[in-house]
Structure 1
């Protein structure tokens, strides 16, 4: 690997951010004790992780829904492999909710009992790459390059946290029968959030009243999350290793089709060829634009 990407820690073929993970912890991931009612959100980076954290927090915690508890979503649904966990999730009461960017082959083997549940959210890779490009700017000390051409090469080669998008999505889909897993498409969630909330709650076997569903949908819209300090991650930007973006917020756009504002015709055609070569036999559906703007 190019040594200029010094923030990347490669473990068993997968790139972690060396500043965010504990090497001892990831070396022992396989043996982490899974409880039957654990729930994992798993995504490739920049694919709706924070959004799904908010939805799960609202489904599981009445105090989150009715705003009687002041606890950040990041603490309710901590990142499994990151050191930024503020609570000791080993001893948390059940049900434990986690989010993770791990590939299928690095998750604890206890997840293969099919009792604990996984919600896997995937997003069209052009928007993932565009979001990642902007996100990389916020992390101080990262070699991001100042143009999309440079970043696109890194992204397609897998020289980013999360490694190759194609491998992550394909790996989880091809091994879906090993887990109790629900695949959710980011763009479908954008198109019909209410139906997506109901689909997730059914998968989790959570009974919700009509009033609960309305509260969850309302509080998990992008605009409401952007103004909710518990849900929007803006607090991270005050730390020294983060740079505040021009827009001033951690959450940027949350739209579908923003890639069209960043890719040239030639870059888009090149991306399409690589996408077809890597994903042509995978039956997952992809939506590239919702004509929102």
Structure 2
């Protein structure tokens, strides 16, 4: 059963669990459960953990989403660089016709919209309402979407189409710390302890977890170790660390993958640098919309901008914790040729 909150408390939409279809309620009664980081209860569905509202959106998306060959999907785990990737991808594909990069007059949509508004999540923002099939005709081509779903749970139409998928992952030590801070920022009462949250993360019990299965679901689509004859140009696999340390190089490759490469003229004009400045952590965090705005879900935009750094885990994790996570990565992922 879905645990209910006291009726006297008005919850933000991301915590509400009352508007679920009957088939989802029936499904929830059959699934393994655990205490959630954000909500009372999360449910294990086909190996991954979700809140009831997420599961509603997931099933709706699988049932109703019809991919187009020129669609672009940004796939991540929560707190692995999603906000930044959305800003970069939106700026890249819209720079030539719809939204030129204009740092001086501030006409670009990123000045007045959070990146999550400009690039909606399929399961959270589009297919989250029960018994409603959304009209996607207003989306211009190429349609740009995001998801936290693993590859195996994507709609079949997306896996069978020629759409492009960009997957961004992050060192699980930093991923965990960012997720822990984010969960505490969103909790209505109390906080998740570091030790308890770490134990759950290592057991894969967090929204979208286990992290190793999520990462591997996309890695296997690009790995020559798994698919020796793989010429797959469908999935571009990125690490947050390489994006952070070699941003210009990765941005150029990302533009080519998305079918909107930089021209020599654009490079000479410094357009890549302009995009990087526009989408930088500092610029986005200091915009009015991200300091005081809110998502339709009720989440404050500022919650998405904490530090955006590499190595913050050094300020929180013990030697034993570090060794444990490193061992999990090696044991779960090393045999597939994956290492951070």
Is this a same-fold pair by TM over 0.5?
yes
Matched, 1:65 2:101: yes
Contact 1:119–1:183 (CA under 8 A) maintained in structure 2: yes
Matched, 1:222 2:281: yes
TM-score, normalised to structure 2's length? 0.73
What do residues 211-246 of structure 1 show as CA deviations (whole Å, max 9, x unaligned)? Answer: 33221111122211211345x48523897x6589xx
- Give the Cα–Cα distance (whole angstroms) in 2 for the partners of residues 47 and 145 of structure 1: 19
- Give the Cα–Cα distance (whole angstroms) in 2 for the partners of residues 142 and 283 of structure 1: 42
Where do residues 1-293 of structure 1 align in structure 2 (5 Å cutoff)?
Answer: 1-5=32-36, 6-19=40-53, 21=54, 23=56, 26-62=59-95, 63=99, 65-66=101-102, 67-70=106-109, 72=113, 73-83=115-125, 90-91=136-137, 92-141=139-188, 144-146=191-193, 148-176=194-222, 180-208=234-262, 209-210=266-267, 211=269, 212-229=271-288, 232=290, 235-236=293-294, 242=299, 250-286=304-340
- Give the Cα–Cα distance (whole angstroms) in 2 for the partners of residues 174 and 242 of structure 1: 33
Unaligned runs of 5+ in 2: 1-31, 129-133, 223-229
Report the count of equivalent residues. Answer: 278
What do residues 119-169 of structure 1 show as CA deviations (whole Å, max 9, x unaligned)? Answer: 0011110000010010000112477522x2111111111221112001101
Secondary structure of 1:175's match?
helix
Alignment CA distance shift 1:259-1:55 (3 Å): same
Alignment CA distance shift 1:25-1:274 (3 Å): closer
Contact 1:118–1:182 (CA under 8 A) maintained in structure 2: yes
- Give the Cα–Cα distance (whole angstroms) in 2 for the partners of residues 89 and 65 of structure 1: 29
Unaligned runs of 5+ in 1: 287-293
Contact 1:8–1:16 (CA under 8 A) maintained in structure 2: yes
- Give the Cα–Cα distance (whole angstroms) in 2 for the partners of residues 142 and 163 of structure 1: 23
**How far did residue 277 of structure 1 move?**
1.3
- Give the Cα–Cα distance (whole angstroms) in 2 for the partners of residues 3 and 81 of structure 1: 21
Alignment CA distance shift 1:3-1:282 (3 Å): closer
Give the corresponding residue for 1:289. Answer: none
Q: Please say which structure displays the higher CA radius of gyration.
A: 2
Alignment CA distance shift 1:108-1:226 (3 Å): same
